[in-house]
Amino acid sequence: MHTNITSYIFVLMKLTEYFVPTLKEEPADSVIPSHKLMVRAGMIRQLTAGVYSYLPLGLKVFKKIENIVREEMNAIGGNEFYLPALSPNELWHQTGRLEDYGDDIFRIKNRELVLAPTHEEVFTSIAKPNLISYKDLPKIWYQIQTKFRNEARPRGGVLRGRQFTMKDAYSFDATWEGLDESYNKNDKAYRNIFTRSGLKFFVVSAFSGAMGGSKSEEFMVETEAGEDNVALSEDNSYASNVEVAVSYCETVARKNSNLSLEEFHTPDIKTIDELAGFLGITDKSRLAKSRVFVIPGKEEKDNKYVEVLVCGDDEVNETKLHNIFSGIRAAHPDELSEITGADAGSIGPVGVEGKLKVIADLRLKEADELISGANKNDYHVKNIDLKRDVPGIEYFDIRTVKEGELTLDKNSKLRITKAIEVGHIFKLGTKYAEALGAKYLDKEGKEQVIIMGSYGIGIERIAAAYIEQNYDKDGIIWSGEISPFHVQLICVNTKLENVKQKADSIYNDFIKLGIEVLYDDRGDISPGFKFKDADLLGMPLHVIVSEKNLKNDEVEVKIRRTGERMKIPLAEINSKIPELLKNIN
């Protein structure tokens, strides 16, 4: 980890020269703390929904993050590229992702072009004619570039925008063992990047989505402003995105009662809660919740149908379903009625063989005395024995974990919390190389498909996530390598010549010491306003030069994070300030 202050990018600025349009009031259209504070601190301004202008202070932070990313990527042998944002539709057609992304990808009207949200296809097109021998591998290529995604509901400031900066990296290997090594190198680089950026982060197993591949992990920052739900164990031994999280949960005990099926009338009962109330029971585990999904074929007649069962107190996890049946979607109401003969709320697993496949969650494995829909509106069936009454049923983990459940090893409990994703790494395998024909010759001269990995980091997301973890009622609290400046120097009254001269002298001394300093040399601004701005901007140290303190040959120093104040003799400033910075960064 780099802590030496001389490693920072130097920008020497006075507030009379630097454009930092701070705001007293919170912007009306912002909800989460980082969005509010980035706007109020003059870091960003919205141009249109999901599109932000980066002002000097914000750009300075983003560039510092980029430099950390660049240093760590170069340290693992990465080669930096800069690719076009525009790419031809045909390239995306070849991998099928033009359809996978759907409306989330920007398309150029009257041109067969898209604005790329990521660059697997383009990097692979460069690899194809150039990485043609095993001797050319492995490679790690990356770029730090503007990306575009047509977010339907952009929100959270720079956390979910339509235009953003991403470091996307790609590994190219000859073997699966090589992919493991490249993946581990990028994992290590990511941990270094987030540590150097001052984030408290954790890593979770995740769903690969449209990216594809055999394995993916997300680097997450816990915050109430997060868009992802994650499951964390209380002993910190387990972390996973809720989309793929697993837990230990008691199965529904088999009674072996061999009771006969019995249909009964349930007028206007549509939900599990309504059914439990109708029956006067509180335990919903034997009320089998049924949903029907479609695996689309090339033609509608080729569609396949799956009925999914979970306990009534559980929810179907559609991400887990997608991992079992790629491309699966929920059946539309008209499809549901046509397939089962009933509407939602009255469907069940009995008598559907030949029409659809039935799968159930592991909690229901070989359970009996269950109640579910009768596949006839306003009717249910009780005493369902999955072993006896549902031929060919299969069992999978398809439920969503819940707060308080045990980890699989039963050693800890899970808690569900919100988090922001700041990085995502994928083992892509051969998906893109196969689709685009990127192959190499092995030692025996045989043609093999290149094996790939993909690794993404959101630059602005790191800054926003940092702020979400480091702020108070007065503003941002910066520290470490991504702090825009080390010190905010405040000249309390620039009209007093001796005060202004001493502040100017301290400013010049700090520059010589390699300390990045934002100097509030503004005239006609009250001291109170300057102090409020300093707290809002949040530099690690505030050095205050006033007539009162100069009479005692000293300045006042405030540590922003703790609020601690101290007086330092003028003769000791040049030694004490670097020492303080070293201790708080």
| Predicted local distance difference test score (pLDDT) of residue 224 | 87
Q: What is the pLDDT of residue 380?
A: 97
Q: What mean pLDDT do residues 457-475 have?
A: 97
- What pLDDT digit, counting tens, does each position of 367-419 carry? 999 999 999 999 999 999 999 999 999 999 999 999 999 999 999 999 999 99
β 439-441/447-449 pair status? antiparallel
With a pLDDT cut of 70, the percent of the chain lying above it is 96
CA neighbor of 445 nearest in space, from 124, 135, 126? 135
CATH superfamily of 262-396: YbaK/aminoacyl-tRNA synthetase-associated domain (3.90.960.10)
Residue 108: predicted pLDDT: 87
Structure token digits, residue 406 = 């045990």
Encoded tokens for 573: 């400033």
Q: Which of 35, 41, 75, 69 has the alpha carbon at shortest distance from 55?
A: 41
Question: What is each CA distance from 28 to 45, 53, 76, 225, in whole angstroms?
Answer: 13, 18, 44, 17
Give residue 510's pLDDT band: very low, low, confident or very high (50, 70, 90): very high
Least confident span in 35-44, 175-184, 322-331, 522-531: 322-331
Three-state secondary structure call for residue 186: helix
Q: Does domain 31-244+416-468 have CATH number 3.30.930.10?
A: yes
**Stretch among 129-143, 165-179, 341-355, 538-552 having the lowest mean pLDDT:** 341-355
Do strands 357-361 and 304-311 pair parallel, antiparallel, or not at all (unpaired)? parallel
Amino acid at the residue 363: R
Paired tokens of 532: 């409020």
CA 244 to CA 422: how far, in whole Å?
18
pLDDT for 12: 60
- The residue ranking higher by pLDDT, 10 or 131, is 131
- Looking at residue 569, its pLDDT comes to 97
| Interior/surface letters 491-505, b for 16+ CB within 10 angstroms, e for the rest | bbbbebeebbebbbe
pLDDT at position 408 is: 94
Mean of pLDDT values over 241-247 = 90
Domain ranges of the chain: 31-244+416-468, 262-396, 485-584
- Residues 563-572: contacts with CB under 8 Å, at least 24 apart: 570/502
Residue 152: other Cβ atoms inside 10 A: 9
Average confidence (pLDDT) over 87-97: 87
Q: How far is CA 202 from CA 195, 222, 224, 226, 422, in A?
A: 11, 8, 15, 14, 10
Residue 195 has pLDDT above 50, yes or no: yes
258 pLDDT above the threshold of 80: yes
Q: What was the pLDDT predicted at 206? A: 67
Pairing outcome for strands 565-569 and 79-81:
unpaired
The region of weakest confidence among 189-198, 232-241, 552-561 is 232-241
Tokens 């549902």 appear where? Answer: 390
Mean model confidence pLDDT for the chain: 92
State in words which class domain 485-584 has: alpha beta
The pLDDT of residue 1 is above 50:
no
Q: For 118-133, give the DSSP string.
A: --HHHHHHHHHHH--B
Predicted confidence band of residue 7 (pLDDT cuts 50, 70, 90) = very low
Where does the pLDDT of residue 189 fall: very low under 50, low under 70, confident under 90, or very high at 90 and above? Answer: very high
Cβ(122)–Cβ(91) below 8 Å: yes
Instruction: Inform me whether the pLDDT recorded for 11 exceeds 70.
Output: no
C-alpha closest to that of 206 among 215, 196, 197 = 215
- Residue-wise pLDDT for 20-46, tens only, equals 999 999 888 888 999 999 999 999 999
pLDDT(93) > 90 = no
Q: How far apart are CA 560 and CA 27, in angstroms?
A: 24
